[in-house]
Amino acid sequence: MSTQTPLKRLTTRDIAAMRRRGEAIAMLTAYDATMAALVDMAGVDMILVGDSLGNVVLGHETTLPVTLDDMIRHAAAVKRGSSRALLVCDMPFGSVTEPAVALSNAVRVMKETGVEAVKLEGGLAMVPTVERLVAHGIAVVAHIGLTPQHVHQMGGYYMHGKDEASAERLRAEARALEAAGAFALVLECVTPALAAEITHMLTIPTIGIGSGQDCAGQVLVINDLIGLNTSPPPSFARPRADVATIIKAAVGDYVDETKASRGPIPLPRRAE
C-alpha cells in the first residue's frame, strides 16, 4: 500500500485565505480527465469547466448551444481526472433563467459531477439567483464584464468599462454580487484600470481574463495557453507552447510512415 499522503483538494476557504495573503490565484479551463490531470499536477489552484467547451471542443461559433448535459458530462470527467484544484462548473445559457430554475439545475450539477462550485454570468439580474444558490449551500463564482452568453445582446466581443457609465455599472455589479455571497468574481475584458479598482474594492478575489495584471487571479482557456488551436487565440492570451504544430507534425509523420511501410495490399481473388 502506498505511504504517500493523498493531496487535499482546495476549498473556498483556501481561496479566500489566498486572497487575504495577497497570493495570486492561478485558474485554467479543462474539459476532460487527461487535461484536468495535467493542469492539476502543474499546480493550478482552480479549474474551470467552462462553457467555452462549445467553441474549443464541440466546434460551435458561440457558447450558446452548450447544454446542461454537456456541462455535466465534461465536469464529471474533470473531477475524475483531478485531485487538488477546486473545481468550478459553468452554468450554460438558459439554465439560470430564474432563481428556482437555477437552483434546480445547480443542484443537479453538484450531485452529478462532484464539483465544488458553479459559475454564473451576469450582473445585477443575477443577484437574486446568487443569493438563492448560496442560501442552499452552493458556492458561486460570479462573472461580469464581457459575458459570452450575452454576445448577441451586447453586439459582439469588446472591452468593458471604457466610459464612466459602464464603469459605474460594473462597480455596482461587483459590490452587489459580493454582498449576495459570491466567493469570487471573474472580470472578463474589463479595462485594466477599472479591474484593479474593483479588485481593491472587494474582499473576495477577482479572477481576470483579458483585464490586465492587477486582478487577484487569472484564468485562461487551456487551448489558448498551450497553442492547441486552429485559429489565432485572443489578443490577451500569450501561448506558452505550440501544441497544434506538434500534433500536426506527429500525425503527418505517422501518415507518411504508414503509407511508406506498406506496399499495395491486393484485394482477395474472386472465385472464377
Q: Which residues are catalytic?
A: 188
Bridge partners (DSSP) listed for residue 87: 47
If one counts every other C-beta atom within 10 angstroms of the C-beta of residue 268, the result is 5
If one counts every other C-beta atom within 10 angstroms of the C-beta of residue 230, the result is 8
Query: Residue 47: which residues within 8 A CB-CB, separation 6 or more?
Result: 27, 28, 29, 30, 36, 39, 40, 78, 82, 85, 86, 87, 88
If one counts every other C-beta atom within 10 angstroms of the C-beta of residue 203, the result is 8
Distance CA 192, CA 214 (A): 7
Helix (H) or strand (E) holding 217: strand 217-220
β-pairing, 217-220 vs 206-209, is parallel
Give the number of residues written for the chain: 272
52 is in an annotated binding site: yes
253 is in an annotated binding site: no
Distance CA 56, CA 178 (A): 30
**SS3 call for 136:** coil
C-alpha cell, 81: 481526472
Cα-Cα end-to-end distance for the chain: 65
Distance CA 236, CA 110 (A): 32
Which residue ranges are tagged as binding site?
Answer: 51-52, 90, 119, 121
Which residue ranges are tagged as binding site for Mg(2+)?
Answer: 51, 90, 121
